[in-house]
Amino acid sequence: MFLSLKQENQTKGKLQKQICQVVLDHFEKQYTRELGHTWSSVRDVLTSPWCWQHAVLLNRFSQCPGLESSLGVQGYRPAFQGALPYLPAAFKCYIRRTPGRFPAQKHQAGQLKEYYLLNAASLLPVLALEVKDGEDVLDLCAAPGGKSVAILQCAYPGNLHCNEYDDLRSRWLEQTIESFIPDPLINLVMVSKLDGRQIGDLKPELYDKVLVDAPCSNDRSWLFSADTQQAALRLIQRKELSSLQFQLLRSAIKALRPGGSLVYSTCTLSKAENSDVINLILNSCRNVMPVDISEMAKGVSQEFSFLSGTQQHELLVLPEKGRAWGPMYVAKLKKM
C-alpha cells in the first residue's frame, strides 16, 4: 500500500511533460480576459502536474481491511466533511494536502478494485445530482466511467444508463464498470453507444436524473499536447464545442421526466463552454429552471476554491495549491 520514495520519484518523473506553447499562449489571452488576476495562480497549478491532488474514492462493493488506516498513515483524510445537502453514508472519499498519487490498481477480470483515483472536483456533479434509490438515471457522456461508479457509491438506481458514443472510450467505460460493480448490480447498468444528441428523441421523458459531463476542451491535458499541430487544430475546433454541448443538453432535457433534475459539467475554465451554454439553454428552453447549488458549494469550501461572481445554480472550481484541484464547472437545472 505504501508509496515508497523510489515510486514517488518515478511518478514525479512521468509528470515532467513538456508544456505546449501554442495552447498556453491561447489560454493566456482567453483566461486573462475571463479570470483576471486569478489566472496567474491557476496557471501555476495547471502547468505543474506535481501540484495536482489525486483523491481516492473507496469502492463500497469491495471492502479492504486496513485500507482506510493505510490512507490515514499517508496523510489522507476524509473529504466532504462540511454540512452538505446530500452526502450518502456509503460515499467515502479521501484526499490529502500534500501532492502525490496513491498507487493505481490494474484491471483484473473477475476481480473488483478497492478504490478509484480521480480529481476530487469531478465528484461534485454527482453530489449535485442527488441520486436516490430506485431512480432511473442517465449518464449521457459516461466514459471513462468515474462518475457512473460514483453514482453507484451513492445509491441503488432503478436503472443506470451509461452512454458513450466513442467506440474506444465505450470499451474503457465497460471495463471500469466491470472493475467496480459486482455481478448482481451490473444488471441495473446498461451501456450504450448512442449519439447523445439523439437520446432525447429515442428515449423521451424516461429518466428522473440526467448527468451531462460534456465533451469539452480539457485544459489540463491540452496544455501537455505532444503534437503541436494537433493542439493548434484542437484550438480551432474549440469554437464548435459549445454548439455540441448545447445540443447534448437539449437532448438531455427531452430525456428527463417532468420534475426531474439535470446536472451539466465540464473540466474546462472556458466561459463559452460553461455559463454561456447554460444561459443559452435557460433562454431557449421554457420548460427548465435553474436549481440553487450554493449550499453544496458552501459545504465543500474547505476542499475547493471557487470562482467568485457565479450564479447560484453554478460553480467553477479553480485549481489552487494545497486544495483539491479542478477545473470543474457544475450547473444544475430542473425540468418543469
Binding residues for S-adenosyl-L-methionine: 141-147, 164, 195, 213
Counting Cα atoms < 13 Å in the Cβ hemisphere of 265 gives: 24
Residues 6+ apart with CB under 8 A from 87: 80, 127
In angstroms, the Cα distances linking 157 to 26, 128, 163, 228 are 42, 16, 16, 43
Give residue 297's Cα distance to chain centre.
15
How far apart CA 19 and CA 25 sit, in angstroms, is: 11
Nearest CA-CA partner of 253 in 263, 243, 239: 263
Cα angle 336, 145, 154 (rounded to 5 degrees) comes to 60
- What residues are labeled active site? 267
Q: Could you tell me where the beta strands, DSSP code E, fall in the chain?
A: 54-58, 77-78, 93-95, 115-119, 136-139, 159-163, 189-192, 207-213, 256-266, 288-290, 305-306, 314-318, 328-335
Nearest CA-CA partner of 31 in 212, 238, 301, 321: 238
Q: Is 39 helix (H, G, I), strand (E, B) or coil?
A: helix
Binding-site positions read 141-147, 164, 195, 213
How far apart CA 143 and CA 163 sit, in angstroms, is: 8
